[in-house]
């Protein structure tokens, strides 16, 4: 080693230790120094992740175009909107007369609106109690099946109804539970009066829930099966060595692993509480009458599309959106209080 590279005095040695390389100062891509522990600037992060940002740009543009730009159309809730003023919708909005909060006043004084709110909440609560736990139970049942072939066949059978249209689903239920369906024919053959569940307003909410369970419960277990696949087998082995039986292992290992997913889906389901199947209910609305089948989505469609009262329907839809947003925020706060992440972190 040459004498020129070795510090000859203590002062030179201390100066050598205080160089940027020795002190741990970070250097950014542009040559600038960054203090250790300090997060990179926005410009540096943009340069670092520019490829990923460009990849997500088309999806972001689609979301903005189809989800956020239409929000501007909610201005018609404060107008007596007439789409026939011009071939251009924007021109029609600009020339429609303003009515202020008149549409909202009409909504809160309309008994049909409150009837649709009541039917919507009843269907939501019923489906939350009867439908939401079923995918969890099916996922636990399929996960307990040892033979892979039996598991694959069970999953295929449960997934299949999800790909059926609501027209086909309702037709199947009509053939089973309608006035001329299989159940009525069976009752008549044994001397009893036939029945038609499809046209009974008192049982309509249970009918809609049964249809939703048959169609979508199998598809809903996909998320829970993915969560179960991430549970380490060592946890089950350790619980078994401690003397835990099958039910104890499910209660202390499986369900805690599913709890974050359950909390997230429950928050999303609460936010979607006021949307309970527009197409499904609209197809059966005339059979049981609007008193039992009118929900907020069909109320908005009937007044906006059928009655051409666009401002009134837009006001009802805006009220629904605001309430749904509030439900999401409240449910997410409850998830945070329970120690779960929810939709977003605190």
CATH at 186: 1.10.3720.10
Q: Which of 14-28, 80-94, 160-174 has the highest mean pLDDT?
A: 160-174
Residue length of the chain: 346
Residue linked to tokens 């049981």 = 288
pLDDT value at position 25?
46
**CA distance readout (Å), 60 to 42, 43, 51, 53, 286:** 19, 20, 14, 10, 40
Structure letter (DSSP) for residue 98: B
Asked, for residue 315, whether it belongs to a domain, the answer is: yes
- Provide the 3-class DSSP secondary structure of residue 138: helix
Contacts of 127 (CB under 8 A, 6+ apart): 208, 209, 212, 276
Asked, for residue 185, whether it belongs to a domain, the answer is: yes
Asked, for residue 48, whether it belongs to a domain, the answer is: no
Contacts of 91 (CB under 8 A, 6+ apart): 85
Name which residue leads in pLDDT, 118 or 2.
Answer: 118
Asked, for residue 171, whether it belongs to a domain, the answer is: yes
User: What's the total number of domains in the chain?
Assistant: 1
Asked, for residue 266, whether it belongs to a domain, the answer is: yes
Asked, for residue 209, whether it belongs to a domain, the answer is: yes
Q: What is the pTM of this model?
A: 0.74
| Cα atoms in the 13 Å half-sphere on the side-chain side of 79 | 14
Spacing of C-alpha 163 from chain mean position: 18
102, two tokens: 């008149």
Start-to-end CA distance of the chain, whole Å, equals 57
For the chain, give the mean pLDDT: 81
Backbone angles phi, psi at 26, to 5 degrees: -90, 150
Whether the per-residue pLDDT at 23 is higher than 60: the answer is no
Alpha-carbon gap, residue 37 to 320, rounded angstroms: 45
**CA distance readout (Å), 43 to 39, 58, 60, 63, 150:** 11, 21, 20, 25, 54
Stretch 60-84: mean pLDDT: 89
Task: Look up the domain containing 178 and give its range.
Answer: 101-338
- Count of C-beta atoms within a 10 Å radius of residue 76: 24
pLDDT value at position 306?
84
Backbone angles phi, psi at 37, to 5 degrees: 85, -10
**119, 123, 125, 127 alpha-carbon torsion, rounded to 10°:** 180
Contacts of 305 (CB under 8 A, 6+ apart): 313
Structure letter (DSSP) for residue 79: B
* DSSP states along 16-36: HHTSHHHHT-EE-TTS-EE-T
* DSSP states along 270-285: HHTTT---HHHHHTTH
Alpha-carbon gap, residue 293 to 281, rounded angstroms: 6
Residue linked to tokens 């277990």 = 221
Percent of the chain exceeding pLDDT 70 equals 87
Lowest mean pLDDT among 78-82, 193-197, 311-315: 193-197
Asked, for residue 296, whether it belongs to a domain, the answer is: yes
Stretch 111-138: mean pLDDT: 88
Stretch 184-207: mean pLDDT: 84
Alpha-carbon gap, residue 121 to 125, rounded angstroms: 6
């Amino acid at each position: 080693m040459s004498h020129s590279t070795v510090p000859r005095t203590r002062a030179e040695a201390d100066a050598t230790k205080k160089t940027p390389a020795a002190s741990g100062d970070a250097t950014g891509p542009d040559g600038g120094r960054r203090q250790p522990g300090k997060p990179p600037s926005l410009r540096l992060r943009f340069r670092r992740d520019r490829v990923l940002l460009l990849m997500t740009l088309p999806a972001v543009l689609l979301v903005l175009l189809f989800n956020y730009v239409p929000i501007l159309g909610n201005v018609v809730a404060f107008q007596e909107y007439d789409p026939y003023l011009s071939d251009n919708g924007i021109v029609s909005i600009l020339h429609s007369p303003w009515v202020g909060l008149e549409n909202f006043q009409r909504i809160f004084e309309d008994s049909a609106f409150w009837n649709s709110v009541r039917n919507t909440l009843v269907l939501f609560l019923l489906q939350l109690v009867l439908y939401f736990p079923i995918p969890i139970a099916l996922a636990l049942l399929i996960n307990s099946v040892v033979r892979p072939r039996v598991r694959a066949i069970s999953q295929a059978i449960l997934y299949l109804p999800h790909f059926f249209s609501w027209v086909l689903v309702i037709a199947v239920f009509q053939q089973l539970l309608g006035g001329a369906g299989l159940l009525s024919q069976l009752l008549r053959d044994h001397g009893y009066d036939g029945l038609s569940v499809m046209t009974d307003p008192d049982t309509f909410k249970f009918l809609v829930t049964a249809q939703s369970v048959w169609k979508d419960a199998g598809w809903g277990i996909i998320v829970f099966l993915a969560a179960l696949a991430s549970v380490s087998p060592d946890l089950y082995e350790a619980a078994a060595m401690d003397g835990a039986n099958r039910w104890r292992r499910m209660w202390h290992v499986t369900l805690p692993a599913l709890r974050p997913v359950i909390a997230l889906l429950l928050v999303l389901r609460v936010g979607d509480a006021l949307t309970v199947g527009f197409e499904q209910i609209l197809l059966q609305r005339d059979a049981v009458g609007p008193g039992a089948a009118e929900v907020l989505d069909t109320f908005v469609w009937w007044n906006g599309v059928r009655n051409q009262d666009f401002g009134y329907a837009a006001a009802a839809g805006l009220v629904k959106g605001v309430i749904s947003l509030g439900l999401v925020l409240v449910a997410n706060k409850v998830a945070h209080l329970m120690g779960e992440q929810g939709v977003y972190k605190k």
